[in-house]
Chains A and B, each alone.
Chain A
Amino acid sequence: MSPAATGTLRPDLAVIADHIQPGARVLDIGCGDGELMAALTAKGCDARGLEIDPTNVAACVGRGLSVMQGDADTDLVYYPDSSVDYAVLSQTLQTTRRPDLILENLLRIAPRGFVSFPNFAHWRVRASLMLGGQMPVTEAIPVAWYETPNIHHLTIADFRSLLAERGIRAERSWFFTGGQPSRQRFANLTGEHAVFLVTRD
């Protein structure tokens, strides 16, 4: 895919789109208004979506995408084993009731999964808690604690521990700060967003 075509995508979505080969079958869990699916479809992938919000689903179908309205916490069980090449969870893991079960389902449905999430251990978040003593509202975590859909905040270190505990390997990882790629070293401190490509050995 040309950089121009992914240029308008959110950075985590652009990374995911760039690392899925044309023709792959993809399930986008929590696909929103279908931004990533549209980019994947444009490069010849067979992309399907799952999305909880009916207006988003209508928007997806309105742009010709195949999307099921449903809840990742309850509806992933209806997807057969190894039915797609990639399952994608972009900015969705932290909104689910049981992120660990979602992750297990992800790697049941697909041999490889992309997971992106905002890092709760980014220094701005730490500073907000340490200095202000309040739950942070930042660019990456823009909604106040009482109305945020993010019910399971996690850090990059937390995610790595969960992977280790469940025998899942991080094949690759990317980090972003202020929409720009950031370095791998001290990512848990300096990365605002993380994208992991995970697989089971």
Chain B
Amino acid sequence: MAPTPENTPAGPVLKLAQPLPLDSGRSLADVEVAYETYGTLNADKSNAILICHALTGDQHVASPHPITGKPGWWIRMVGPGKPIDTDRFFVICSNVIGSCMGSSGPASMAESCAPYGMTFPVITVRDMVRAQVALVDALGIDRLHAVVGGSMGGMQALSWAANFGDRIDAALIIASTSRHSAQNIAFHEVGRQAIMADPKWNGGDYYGATGEDPRKVGPESGLAVARMAAHITYLSEQGLTEKFGRRLQDRDAKTFGFDADFQIESYLRYQGLSFTDRFDANSYLYITRAMDYFDLAEEHGGKLADAFRNTQARFCLVSFDTDWLYPTSESRTIAHALNAAGHPVSFMELSAPFGHDSFLLDNDDLDRVVKGFIR
């Protein structure tokens, strides 16, 4: 009997009855999966779409973020009458395990009645997907009409196709990759080292005994620097030049000091600091690690095409011409592997000036593709 979800102030949370087996060989007990749904599941349960979020995203794809109050992160794509139309589809989005928005992660209580911290097991993208499968099971859904994701969400969609491919009809993968490159791992390592170099990180043990919000304590400076470095990789040189150039921030001349003279410095500092209000540093370590470990071909004997042997799903891959984090060549590699294996696959590189983040921003071609592919 599948466990029933519980409603909490932060939204519904599913508590798994069984420990979740993990790629590391360990298993995770008392797993909680926080999620949101939009729209209505139809009678034959055939209209469910799972949306997978990116590294620092969450389940609030089309509803306001409970901490920042900001609108859902993909409201331009998901909602009534939107390309992923919640008048037609039942949209599910869950917080990945390892994160800090209600699903089990390093800030959760371990059996020792203290937060896990660094005793939380290292997880993988496939482990995140296993938790999603448990959620889909609990919702009584056999097959998903589609799995959709950008960036790390795209990795989860690929992992669904590779590991649970008989349970999806379509996978839409945007600005993503089938494996983390040396450059991707390098940027993540810079972020992790920034967090670990902050004395307040304290080996991951910073949560305190009083059950304070993990986001209000801990290595805020390190996490902010990690976010600043990562944020640069989400943009493009062209986008940065258009938005900031060499313009100065609230001043007419350089100060010959180390204040944020330039607008770009001020912007990055703001991005770094505001991120620490909503994210747990240890979660950042765990999720970046999961992404670094992602290599779909390696999981399937070294041949990418073999990863998709057990699925009849349709695929669509979209990249952006200014995305240097997960460049077009990565999406094309996946598309060629799928095509060679005879899967129905579409691939396109769209033009947008905003780098990796383009998938979250206005793009008419993307809307048309998503709507047409989901259909």
Q: Which residues of A are interface residues toward B (Cβ below 8 A)?
A: 46, 48, 54-55, 57-70, 78-80, 83
Contact = CB atoms under 8 A, between A and B. Distances in A.
B344 A68 contact: no
B365 A54 contact: yes
Interface stretch (B94-102, B179-187, B367-375): B367-375
5 contacts: A57-B347, A58-B365, A64-B373, A69-B348, A80-B340
A93 to B, nearest CB: 22
Residue of B314, B339, B342, B375 contacting most chain A CB atoms (<10 Å): B339
B368 A48 contact: no
Contacts, number: 60
Contacts of B371: 62
Contacts of B366: 58
A15 to B, nearest CB: 26
A60 to B, nearest CB: 7
B347 A64 contact: no
Nearest to A56: B348
Contacts of A46: 344
Contacts of B347: 57, 68-70
Contacts of A62: 368-369, 371-372
Contact of A57 (B340, B342, B346): B346
Given A54-B350, A63-B372, A67-B348, 6 more contacts: A48-B344, A54-B351, A58-B369, A61-B316, A67-B346, A70-B347
Interface in B296-354: 314, 316, 332, 335-336, 339-340, 342, 344-351
A54 B348 contact: yes
Given A63-B372, A64-B372, A58 B336 contact: no
Contacts of A80: 340
A80 B371 CA distance: 30
